[in-house]
């Protein structure tokens, strides 16, 4: 065999070749192919010979086989783009046993505190999308929904911190885009899963099938929850014009509920350039709860009184949506695209609550007016939002470096709210509607928007700038109860810009600016007076304006096989933020309150555009693959906030959140993971929250070539309860609350996959995303409709 090759070449797809070789004499030619035996042939080229024809050569399969090969490597769970960060939930073993809410604690720029309140980029105002489309029910009730969703039905989560001009201008912290397994798996496949724990049980299934040009996927999950009994305490102190009052209560509550979600997606290829996609989704559930509490009020001047309160409630909330998209790609320029979209969504919510009072018979006459307010009552509430959205988008490249995008959008949104209060007539055994304390009203929105964006990509540099215009017509009508009809117009110009530089193939740096607006939702606007607790009355504010936020951010990412790092520094400010404000007032001064005592000082909570906040935050995500079988990770978030409001209200302070853990793989598909987390008290305009810590341990085992997976977990196993304390203070009052919630938990889950993977449901590259509403209440985006 010659020591050196004089010529090397590759045949075509059919094995044919023609190659020129200089010189004459004896030659050896060798044909090699992966998985085949080499063919070696000697030949001679005589002087003057112009061509040598080898005819047809036969090649055979190799007779030797490789032994078992184990490829061991850990997939990176996080990757960063110029405007978003993506966390790969599907490749994290903890997703087999955790809820989606638990997995959120690992996602960069996201924090979930001990009471399951969610913040994105330091803000509780954010929007939730599913597969690139908005889900307003999840945005309004993120804690309840995400707590009920099994994480093994999720592919990855995107944190979009710099939304471009094509996104609606709402969402201060950004956007959480949850991509389910239905949008990423390929081909015919079906997965069945089940789970059970000390707090509930559930199951789910997912399937995809393809026939010709039509591809359809479907997914359904159901979860039943059993909330163990939790305990609470509260203290309230007021001092007005020399009169000192103290009140305290102790209580307990227990709940059970169910959650279900499902979706169907289909796509049809009309031809190679045109596609139609259809989607339908259902999310929602219900909850039943009951509670008991004892209340004591005292005064140095007038003694006190006490009563026992029992309550029970039933609620339900759903979101039903459908969408149709048409996409047309240019024949000459594949990146040139035109999309038409339509979306319909309705979100009905209902609640029914009962309050009964058992009053101690002996008390000072001074308290007589307050005691008479403690009449058994029932409240029936219903809210519904129905919206129709029409949208057109166009994007095209200009040369190899530039991209232009633009579009128009129209949203027709109808919000309705009905809150009925019934008084109990014990003697007659009936309930009577109190029309003075009942509210029916409509909140109609017409939103017209247009946007234009420009993108540039030059070698390692990429950037994007855009401008969005939104005109909102807000029409509020009061059908029953207090309030005067009114109509408002809003005009908003929303700029955005981002710039990224690829330092190496493994690292990049990004800088961005974006402005966001927040339209108050129906929960914040509703003027209904909630006086079920006559000492703590709350009410919405129909005169709220849009809130505007400006944010600047700087990020650095470095992802290697061994070490992953993402750092994000951000500064944001708001000059008219919507804040919950609590004051001590005489109940006679509350507009619309029926039968005030005229001498009772109560805590009155409402919402106002009085907030001025400055936030400086640093977020860090670290992943170290210590070996091919060991992963160590941490998600850190901390910052400083300065808040100011009207009447001298102000507060500032530091806060920090940390989540970390270690995962270890063993032979025969065994895995174990340990996670710990902690947080410092968060800062509010009129007080502070609570510190918190937690830990969990999980074990996993896969069978049948990883088609069958079993997992078990335990959390907070040394102590049953965790305590959470909140403090609020203002001029003339202070209050605190203490909650003891069950955090000890045990559980297991099982999943089994069948089928082959070949095709996926296609989706339009552009689709409708409505994210323009700020909600109220707890749990991140808040509760209630919008």
Q: How far is CA 143 from CA 149, 154, 243, 381, in A?
A: 10, 16, 41, 21
Residues 769 and 167 sit within 8 Å (Cβ to Cβ) = yes
Look at 745 and 66; give whichever has higher pLDDT.
745
Least confident of 471-475, 574-578, 592-596: 592-596
Integer angstrom CA distances of residue 535 from 77, 249, 587, 595, 601: 50, 12, 9, 14, 8
**Residue 118, C-beta contacts closer than 8 angstroms, at least 6 positions apart:** 101, 104, 110, 111, 112, 124, 126, 142, 143, 146, 779, 780, 781
Q: Which residues pair with 79 in a beta bridge?
A: 86
Note whether 439 and 527 are within 8 A (CB). Answer: yes
For the ranges 70-74, 494-498, 756-760, the lowest mean pLDDT is seen at: 756-760
pLDDT over threshold 70, residue 71: no
Question: Do residues 381 and 416 make contact, with C-beta atoms less than 8 angstroms apart?
Answer: no
Q: Is the pLDDT of residue 522 over 70?
A: no
- Across the range 212-223, mean pLDDT stands at 82
556: left (phi over 0), alpha (psi -120 to 50) or beta: beta
pLDDT at 115: 60
Which pair of tokens denotes residue 39? 């063919």
pLDDT band at 775 (very low <50, low <70, confident <90, very high): very low
Phi–psi pair at 146, nearest 5 degrees: -70, -30
DSSP strand pairing (133-134 vs 486-502) = unpaired
pLDDT of residue 310 exceeding 70, the answer is yes
93 three-state secondary structure: helix
Instruction: Report whether pLDDT(84) > 70.
Output: yes
| pLDDT value of position 290 | 92
Q: What is the pLDDT of residue 79?
A: 75
Query: How many angstroms separate the CA atoms of 666 and 701, rounded?
Result: 10
Q: Which residues contact 3 (CB under 8 A, 6 or more apart)?
A: none
Contact 222, 211 (CB under 8 A): no
Q: What is the mean pLDDT of residues 248-253?
A: 90
274's CB contacts (< 8 A; 6+ apart) are 326, 327, 328, 329
Given pLDDT bands bounded at 50, 70 and 90, which one contains residue 598?
low
pLDDT at 758: 43
pLDDT digits (tens, 9 = 90+) for 28-48: 888 877 667 778 888 888 777
Residue 570 clears pLDDT 70, i.e. is over it: yes
- CB neighbour burial string for 347-358, b if at least 16 within 10 angstroms, e if fewer: bbbbbbbbbbbe
Better-scored residue on pLDDT, 636 or 762: 636
Least confident interval from 9-13, 101-105, 200-204, 627-631: 9-13
Question: 349-379: per-residue pLDDT in tens?
Answer: 999 988 888 888 888 877 777 777 777 788 8
Q: Is 16 helix (H, G, I), strand (E, B) or coil?
A: coil
Element (H, E) at 719: none
* 768, pLDDT greater than 70: no
CA terminus-to-terminus distance, the chain? 80
Residue 344 pLDDT grade (very low, low, confident, very high; cuts 50, 70, 90): very high
What tokens were used for 572?
Answer: 């944001």
Q: How far apart are CA 695 and CA 119, in angstroms?
A: 20
pLDDT at res. 511: 93
Which residues in 572-602 are b (16+ Cβ under 10 Å) and which e?
bbbebbbbbbbbbbebeebeebeebbeebbb
Cβ 202 vs Cβ 224: under 8 Å: yes
Percentage of the residues of the chain whose pLDDT score is greater than 70: 85
pLDDT level of residue 599 (50, 70, 90 thresholds): low
Of 317 and 5, the one with more pLDDT = 317
Whether 14 has a pLDDT exceeding 80, the answer reads: no
Q: Which residues pair with 61 in a beta bridge?
A: 36
pLDDT at site 580: 80
- Tell me what pLDDT residue 671 has: 87
Work out whether strand 175-180 and strand 127-130 pair parallel, antiparallel, or are unpaired: parallel
What's the pLDDT score for residue 122? 65
Most confident by average pLDDT, 168-177, 458-467, 471-480, 542-551:
458-467
More confident residue, 68 or 737: 737
Tell how many helices (H) and how many strands (E) occur in the chain. Answer: 5, 40
> Which neighbouring-strand residues pair with 502?
508
The 3-state DSSP class for residue 437 equals helix
C-alpha torsion angle, residues 142, 143, 149, 153 (rounded to 10): 50
Q: Which residue has the tokens 């093994």?
A: 152
User: Comparing 12-16, 27-31, 102-106, 190-194, which segment has the lowest mean pLDDT?
Assistant: 12-16
Radius of gyration in angstroms for the set of CA atoms belonging to the chain, rounded to a whole number: 31
Who contacts 348 (Cβ-Cβ below 8 Å, separation ≥6)?
316, 317, 318, 382, 383, 384
pLDDT, position 289: 92
- Alpha helices per DSSP H over 346-385: 368-372
Per-residue pLDDT at 427 = 67
pLDDT digits (tens, 9 = 90+) for 374-418: 777 888 889 888 999 999 999 999 988 999 999 999 999 998 888
Distance, in Å, from the CA atom of 600 to the CA atom of 173, rounded to the nearest integer, reads 40
Average pLDDT over residues 449-465: 91
Handedness of CA 318, 319, 322, 327 (dihedral sign): negative
Q: Contact 286/258 with Cβ under 8 angstroms?
A: yes
pLDDT, the chain, mean: 80
Confidence band of 74 (pLDDT split at 50, 70, 90): low
pLDDT of residue 407: 94
């Amino acid at each position: 065999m010659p020591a050196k090759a004089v010529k090397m070449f590759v045949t075509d797809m059919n094995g044919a070749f023609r190659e020129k070789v200089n010189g004459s004499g004896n030659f050896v030619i060798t044909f090699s192919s992966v998985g085949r035996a080499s063919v070696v042939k000697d030949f001679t080229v005589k002087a003057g010979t112009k061509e040598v024809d080898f005819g047809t050569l036969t090649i055979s399969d190799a007779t030797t086989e490789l032994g078992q090969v184990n490829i061991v490597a850990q997939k990176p769970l996080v990757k960063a783009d110029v405007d978003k960060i993506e966390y790969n939930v599907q490749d994290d073993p903890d997703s087999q046993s955790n809820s989606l809410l638990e997995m959120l604690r690992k996602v960069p720029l996201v924090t979930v505190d001990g009471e399951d309140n969610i913040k994105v980029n330091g803000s509780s105002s954010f929007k939730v999308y599913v597969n690139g489309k908005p889900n307003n029910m999840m945005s309004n009730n993120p804690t309840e929904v995400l707590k009920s969703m099994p994480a093994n039905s999720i592919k990855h989560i995107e944190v979009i911190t710099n939304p471009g001009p094509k996104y609606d201008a709402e969402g201060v912290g950004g956007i959480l885009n949850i991509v389910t397994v239905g949008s990423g798996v390929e081909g015919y496949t079906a997965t069945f899963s089940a789970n059970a724990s000390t707090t509930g049980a559930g199951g789910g299934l997912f399937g995809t099938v393809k026939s010709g040009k039509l591809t359809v996927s479907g997914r359904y999950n159901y979860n039943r929850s059993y909330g163990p009994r939790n305990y609470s305490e509260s203290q309230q102190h007021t001092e007005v014009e020399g009169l000192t009052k103290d009140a305290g209560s102790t209580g307990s509550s227990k709940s059970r509920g169910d959650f279900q979600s499902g979706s169907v997606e289909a796509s049809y290829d009309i031809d190679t350039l045109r596609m139609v996609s259809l989607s339908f989704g259902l999310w929602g559930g219900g909850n039943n709860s009951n509670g008991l509490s004892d209340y004591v009020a005292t005064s140095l001047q007038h003694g006190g009184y006490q009563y026992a309160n029992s309550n029970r409630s039933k609620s339900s909330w759903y979101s039903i949506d459908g969408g149709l998209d048409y996409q047309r790609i240019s024949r000459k320029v594949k990146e040139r695209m035109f999309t038409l979209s339509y979306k319909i969504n309705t979100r009905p919510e209902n609640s029914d609550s009962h309050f009964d009072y058992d009053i101690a018979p002996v008390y000072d006459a001074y308290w007589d007016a307050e005691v008479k307010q403690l009449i058994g009552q029932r409240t029936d509430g219903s809210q519904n939002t129905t919206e129709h959205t029409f949208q057109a988008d166009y994007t095209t490249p200009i040369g190899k470096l530039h991209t232009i995008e633009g579009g128009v959008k129209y949203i027709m949104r109808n919000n309705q709210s009905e809150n009925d209060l019934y008084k109990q007539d014990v003697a007659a055994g009936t309930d009577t509607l109190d029309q003075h304390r009942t509210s029916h009203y409509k909140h109609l929105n017409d939103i017209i928007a247009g946007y234009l964006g420009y993108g540039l990509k030059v070698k390692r540099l990429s950037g994007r700038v855009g401008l969005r215009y939104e005109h909102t017509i807000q029409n509020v009508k009061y059908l029953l109860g207090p309030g005067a009809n009114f109509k408002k117009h809003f005009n908003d110009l929303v700029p955005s810009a981002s710039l990224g530089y690829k330092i190496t193939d493994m690292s990049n740096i990004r800088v961005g600016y974006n402005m966001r607006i927040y339209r108050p939702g129906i929960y914040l606007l509703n003027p209904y007076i909630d006086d079920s607790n006559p000492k703590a009355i709350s009410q919405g504010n129909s005169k709220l304006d849009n809130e505007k936020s400006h944010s600047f951010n700087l990020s650095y990412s470095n992802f290697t096989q061994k070490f992953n790092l993402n750092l994000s520094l951000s500064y944001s400010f708001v000059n008219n933020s919507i804040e919950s404000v609590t004051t001590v007032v005489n109940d006679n001064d509350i507009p619309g309150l029926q039968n005030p005592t005229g001498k009772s000082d109560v805590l009155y909570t409402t919402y106002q555009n009085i907030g001025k906040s400055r936030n400086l935050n640093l977020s860090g995500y670290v992943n170290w693959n210590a070996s091919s079988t060991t992963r160590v990770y941490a998600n850190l978030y901390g910052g400083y906030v300065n808040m100011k409001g009207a009447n001298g209200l102000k507060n500032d302070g530091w806060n920090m959140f940390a989540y970390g853990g270690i995962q270890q793989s063993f032979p025969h598909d065994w895995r174990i993971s340990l996670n710990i987390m902690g947080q410092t008290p968060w800062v509010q305009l009129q007080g502070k929250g609570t510190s918190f810590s937690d830990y969990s341990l999980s074990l996993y085992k896969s069978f049948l070539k990883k088609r069958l997976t079993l997992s078990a977990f335990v959390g907070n196993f040394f102590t049953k309860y965790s305590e959470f304390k909140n403090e609020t203070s203002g001029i003339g009052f202070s209050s605190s609350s203490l909650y003891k919630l069950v955090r000890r938990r045990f559980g297991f889950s099982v999943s089994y996959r069948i089928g082959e993977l070949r095709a996926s449901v296609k989706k339009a590259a552009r689709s409708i995303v409505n994210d323009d509403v700020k909600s109220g209440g707890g749990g991140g985006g808040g509760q209630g409709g919008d």
